[in-house]
Amino acid sequence: MDPSKQAPVAGEFDAATIGALAHLYRGEVYRSTIWRTRLDNTTNWAVVTLGLALSITFSNRDASALPLLLSGVLCVVFLIFEARRYRYFNVWRARARWMEKNFYAPMLLGGRLGPDEDWSKVLATDYCVPRHHISLPRAIGRRLRRNYIWILGIQTIAYYGKIAIDPSPIKSGSELIGRAALGPVPGEVMLFGGALFSGGWIAFAAWTYFLDRAKHGTRPSGASMG
């Protein structure tokens, strides 16, 4: 191989340092894998909660739609838990991706792809001054767009479907409003609250999507540091 085409990283570090970086990379991949599993756990909790609420609500025609409402609240709680976990997962994933891009890729390509300037200093700073690479709203938005928008969508459709068909199919809008009433809360308030709940999460997903685009729109990949 032409010495002029040697990867810059091979010349910057001796064999012992390269071996240490390899072990460091393995550790970051391991931690990101563990936290990725924790993300799956919270999603599973939300799916099981919704499935249980659907089973109870549609078990008979006279069953209340209240479990579906409560499952929506619980799914939001799980979403926040998952977003907090995602912020930690994103740290380990970003570090591993940073080493792949700036250490391994130039080495594999024989120097034809140069690493980012001062990439090792960026990585060292991240170890010396650890921080989250993504804000909580953006983390919530990402998990919402990936998984929870579908879970909450099914919950909303199931709720409106339940009050529309049980104990018998509705024949007018006023009947739908009457069935939507929950204790002292009028049906109009319940329906408006449901529409506001669903519309609010859709708007939040769109807003955080544009936040991600503003941060990563000029990058070839949104998987680097944050």
Q: Flag residues of the chain having pLDDT under 50.
A: 1-10, 221-224, 226
- pTM for this one? 0.83
**pLDDT, position 213:** 87
CA–CA separation, 40 and 148 (whole Å): 12
pLDDT tens track for 6-23: 444 445 677 888 888 889
How far from each other are the two terminal CA atoms of the chain, in whole angstroms?
Answer: 35
pLDDT tens track for 29-49: 999 999 989 899 999 999 999
Buried b (16+ CB within 10 A) or exposed e, 76-114: bebbebbbbbbbbbbbbbbbbbbbbbbbbbbbeeebeee
